[in-house]
Amino acid sequence: MTAKELLLDKARETCSPQTDMALAARVGVTRSAVSLWRKGGTIKPNHLEALAALAQVDGEIVVRVMEEQAETPAQRRVWRSVLDRLSAAAAVLVLVVCATPGVARAKTVDIQSFSPDSGGSMYIMFKAD
């Protein structure tokens, strides 16, 4: 299944009834436009944005659709580069979350007797280099 098909199907699932006609109405296009997209037609950026919002998908799916729709090898390379960077950023985030399991069990720390009873003030020092 292509990213475009996945996006269209996820967006259609949010419609009632779950039809391409209902999806077209939600996006503001004709039923034939959705049919054209399903047959390989290009989704314009504003419609792609609307579909992503309906489907509640992350940017990766949108970038994959843009890569699939690229007309030249150079455009495909650009979108592949963006996708690789998104994947790398996601991998770093996963590593950070997995490497710091104690964050979820963190305890509060009193900072120089900072508490609601002390009037809510806190003394902070800053040393300029």
In a domain? residue 57: yes
Residue 41 has pLDDT above 70, yes or no: yes
Q: State residue 85's pLDDT score.
A: 85
Q: For 1, which DSSP code?
A: -
In a domain? residue 59: yes
In a domain? residue 14: yes
Q: State residue 77's pLDDT score.
A: 92
Give 56-110 pLDDT, tens digit per residue: 998 888 999 999 999 999 999 998 988 888 887 776 766 666 555 555 455 555 5
In a domain? residue 121: no
Least confident of 2-6, 30-34, 83-87: 83-87
> Is residue 88 within 8 Å of residue 95, measured between CB atoms?
no
In a domain? residue 56: yes
Please give the tally of structural domains in the chain: 1
In a domain? residue 86: yes
Q: What is the 3-state secondary structure (H, E, C) of 17-66?
A: CCCHHHHHHHHCCCHHHHHHHHCCCCCCHHHHHHHHHHHCCCHHHHHHHH
Q: For 15, which DSSP code?
A: S
Residue 6 has pLDDT above 90, yes or no: yes
Backbone phi, psi, residue 16, to 5°:
-130, 115
In a domain? residue 32: yes
Q: Which amino acid is at 6?
A: L
Percentage of residues of the chain with pLDDT beyond 90: 53
Of 41 and 114, the structure prediction assigns the larger pLDDT to 41
Q: Angle 34-37-40 (CA atoms, 0-180°, nearest 5)?
A: 155
| Structural domain boundaries, residue 38 | 3-101
Residue 129 has pLDDT above 90, yes or no: no
In a domain? residue 108: no
pTM of the model: 0.66
